[in-house]
């Protein structure tokens, strides 16, 4: 019982113990929030990139290397495990608004086929969603959000997405302007150029022949929001015939998107595709060309590896911060050994054992680690839950955003608290705290009691 009493007495009457607890709390806070943000970032990044791509993509080295041939599409659909196939064509372009020029990527699709191979349809915005997104609804105060909701109600904006109407305009053109090809743009594209549905954009690109086709107009008939800011800012979606006419490559496409029944076997499907290509099942024209088949993660290997490496580095750095913080426990208790020499000598002289003195210091280290860990864990979980609100508050009052979408490709800070990971962190921190207290405890336990009493 005396061990517990002395442990609590030394713990509460020593200001340096409070300093150690605070230091450990902030280190554990970093250990919780940094990995949770990286876990969420990795999960959400995979999800957003994954949602805009098909399982397997089959394309050529050159932009328009494949024929738009229904026989090729049927041969691809007949491969084992393939459930849907959609052709696509893509090309970079420059867009000009007044005196400003920027780049974008134009992608031509068949929207009804595209929704079968990717999550394209899920990202289309209703009129109401578009209005709120363009007005940066998520980043406003509750009062401003209420005002925007009222404005949306006043304008009688639709809450549902009429996909068929958007698809029809994308493929057949806008009845109000039949001579102008139509397109869909990302919400950040609309914000960057202050555009809305019905406006025209002017694009310039280099055609297959090398000539430059300038100021080709497209009318915006809808918008999408993937949450992947690079797509929402740079991608313009139109129909395949519209883009073929823009770059003057009739009957040519860039590749085919494939969805497979079981993504864990996607690499097997890719192997089957390569075998079918070498056998000539996809036509003799394709046999003679260097074509590429890749799964979505292979196509984005560099980005995914960069995220995984960043996550590993964050874990290493935060763990080293915790190790440094637990060193403060060692310093606090080491100083206690030298300031409580006479008390420890008296304790030994009246019957205290070496093991008892050792457990006194280890108990203090454990108590400091437990308190710091509990406070840091609670603070880290709360910070992870409300991190977007905090970031929006900082952005609102300073104009600086700690997680800029244009840098991290996501429009919100994602977090995912890993319970198993935090349990491991909890155990490791307590162990480090106890080990940090072990050396001062051994020094105190080995001091001769008579010399300690005579210590000045």
Q: List the chain pLDDT tens, one digit each, 456 residues.
A: 555 555 555 555 556 677 777 877 888 888 788 888 778 777 777 777 776 788 899 888 878 888 888 888 998 998 988 999 999 999 999 988 777 888 999 999 999 999 999 888 999 999 888 888 877 766 666 777 788 888 888 878 888 899 999 999 999 988 888 889 999 999 889 988 888 888 999 999 877 666 777 788 999 999 998 877 778 889 999 999 999 999 989 999 999 999 999 888 888 888 888 888 888 777 777 766 778 888 888 877 777 777 778 778 877 877 777 777 777 777 776 666 555 555 555 555 555 666 666 677 677 777 777 888 888 888 888 888 888 888 878 777 777 777 666 555 566 777 888 888 778 877 887 787 777 777 666 666 566 554 545 544
**How many H-runs (helices) and E-runs (strands) does the chain carry?**
20, 11
Rounded CA separation 327/124 (Å) = 53
Residue 51, sorted as left (phi over 0), alpha (psi -120 to 50) or beta, turns out to be alpha
Cβ atoms of 332 and 20 within 8 Å: the answer is yes
Token pair for residue 35? 């990995």
Burial track 275-291 (b if 16+ CB lie within 10 A, e otherwise):
ebbeeebbeeebeeeeb
The number of CA neighbours under 13 Å toward the Cβ of 241 is 7
Phi, psi for residue 118 in degrees, rounded to 5: -145, -175
User: What is the chain's Cα-based Rg?
Assistant: 32
Rounded CA separation 235/256 (Å) = 18
pTM over the 0.85 mark? no
Q: Which is it for the CA torsion 301, 303, 309, 315, positive or negative?
A: negative
Q: Which is it for the CA torsion 188, 192, 194, 196, positive or negative?
A: negative
What stretch of H or E contains 419? helix 419-446
Rounded CA separation 189/250 (Å) = 28
Domain ranges of the chain: 2-47+303-453, 54-125+161-299
Residue with tokens 């304790």: 347
Q: Are strands 56-60 and 100-109 parallel, antiparallel or unpaired?
A: unpaired
Q: Are strands 182-186 and 235-239 parallel, antiparallel or unpaired?
A: antiparallel
């Amino acid at each position: 019982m005396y061990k517990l009493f002395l442990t609590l007495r030394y713990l509460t009457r020593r200001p340096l113990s409070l300093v150690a607890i605070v230091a450990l709390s902030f280190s554990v806070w970093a250990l919780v929030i940094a990995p949770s943000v990286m876990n969420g970032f990795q999960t959400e990044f995979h999800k957003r990139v994954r949602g805009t791509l098909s399982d397997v993509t089959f394309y050529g080295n050159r932009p328009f290397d494949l024929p738009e041939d229904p026989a090729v599409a049927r041969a691809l659909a007949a491969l084992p495990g393939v459930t849907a196939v959609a052709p696509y064509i893509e090309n970079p372009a420059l867009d000009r608004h007044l005196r400003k020029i920027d780049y974008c990527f134009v992608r031509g699709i068949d929207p009804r086929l595209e929704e079968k191979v990717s999550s394209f349809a899920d990202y289309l915005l209703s009129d109401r969603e578009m209005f709120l997104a363009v007005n940066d609804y998520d980043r406003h105060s509750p009062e401003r959000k209420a005002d925007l909701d009222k404005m949306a109600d006043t304008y009688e904006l639709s809450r549902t997405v009429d996909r068929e109407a958007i698809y029809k305009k994308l493929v057949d053109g806008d009845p109000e302007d039949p001579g102008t090809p139509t397109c869909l743009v990302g919400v950040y594209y609309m914000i960057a150029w202050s555009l809305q549905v019905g406006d025209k954009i002017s694009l310039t690109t280099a055609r297959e022949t090398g000539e430059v086709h300038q100021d080709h107009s497209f009318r915006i008939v809808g918008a999408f929001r993937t949450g992947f800011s690079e797509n929402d800012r740079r991608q313009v979606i139109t129909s395949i015939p519209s883009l073929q006419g823009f770059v003057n490559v009739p009957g040519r496409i860039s590749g085919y998107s494939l969805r497979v029944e079981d993504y864990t076997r996607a690499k097997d499907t890719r192997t089957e595709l390569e075998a079918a290509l070498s056998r000539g099942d996809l036509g003799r024209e394709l046999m003679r060309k260097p074509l590429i088949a890749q799964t979505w993660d292979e196509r984005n290997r560099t980005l995914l590896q960069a995220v995984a490496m960043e996550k590993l580095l964050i874990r290493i750095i935060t763990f080293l911060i915790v190790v440094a913080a637990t060193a403060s426990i060692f310093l606090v208790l080491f100083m206690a050994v030298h300031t409580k020499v006479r008390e420890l000598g008296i304790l030994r002289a009246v019957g205290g054992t070496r093991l008892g003195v050792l457990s006194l210091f280890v108990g203090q280290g454990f108590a400091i680690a437990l308190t710091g860990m509990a406070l840091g864990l609670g603070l880290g979980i709360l910070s992870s839950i409300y991190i977007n609100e905090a970031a929006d508050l900082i952005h609102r009052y300073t104009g600086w955003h700690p997680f800029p979408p244009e840098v991290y490709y996501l429009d919100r800070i994602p977090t995912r608290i890993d319970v198993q990971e935090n349990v491991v962190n909890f155990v490791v921190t307590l162990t480090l705290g106890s080990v940090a207290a072990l050396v001062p405890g051994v020094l105190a336990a080995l001091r001769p009691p008579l010399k300690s009493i005579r210590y000045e």
